[in-house]
Structure 1
Amino acid sequence: MLSFEQKLAIADSFPELQRKPVSLGRVNYHYENSVYEKKTVVYHLHPNGNGFVYAGELDGYETDDKGFVNIRDFGEDELRAVIEQSIRSLSGDGGDDSAEGPSSDKEIWTNAKKQELTLTLDDEDGMWYVFAGLNMDAAFESYEEAKEYLEDEGFSRSRRG
């Protein structure tokens, strides 16, 4: 089994991934150029060596209900391969997704009355949260669900945070 430091070094070797520390010493790696709402490639890489890589679009991996494969016992070649395949799967066909998907983890939505709601992605749990000021208004498992809710409530995306 590779150590935490070895797994970090492998993930760090992919320049297209952005390292994001989360709680309890864990680390996530995001692929910001994903054409899908899913951006997390490496999830909760833990100092004990446990961690996950998104393989929801890949064949040949046993994944959990969110599409992640456990990489605890992966060797170097296997880990590099699954990360590379994950990035490729999130690259899609290279089409322009700027009109539909989020380009950041935070967006400001406004309605005709100039009221503002903030849509924020929580890196820890992968949920999208809608806030009215400091108060949470709603939570969603996907960007599309949150977008639909906000549009149904009469809001439109005004700017990206």
Structure 2
Amino acid sequence: MSTETRDPNTATDHSEAPESAAAARTAPPEGEGTGGRENGTEATEESGNAEAAGYRRRLREAEAERDRLAEQVTALQRREAERVAAEHLEVGSDLFDVGKAELHDLIDDDGHPDPDRIRTAAATLVGARPGLRRSPSSAEVRAGIGQGSYPSGARPSGASWSEALRTR
């Protein structure tokens, strides 16, 4: 014998019972799974978060690549500026190291090193620091000897080979 007490406020319609029992079997335990969300929206949110994470990762990779390429372009621009400055300076990098020139001041509107700006900056530096002037190479000096031209405007002292070989 069972004594069953029924609450008068509880519905006694048994047509609802199988639905609620089926829902109880398929629903995850409380505190797990959806966290109060519907099953369809959770999957959408997770895939949306994964997609956003993928975009963030790709963005970081693109930014790193952009920064690496910008560094390469800056290095190439500086190297070209040093090469042009070496026409006037013994060491082309002195334009930046000693003269404190800024690369962006030597670049034209298209992003290319401007040879005229670089030469002007190098000539200004040589005017202020003559010791930085480029000295002629030995090949340049030898090229003028015996050919009727003299390096850096030097003239013979007046003595000739005939005078040197003449016996006294």
TM over 0.5: no
Report the TM-score when normalising by structure 2. 0.22
TM-score (norm 1): 0.22
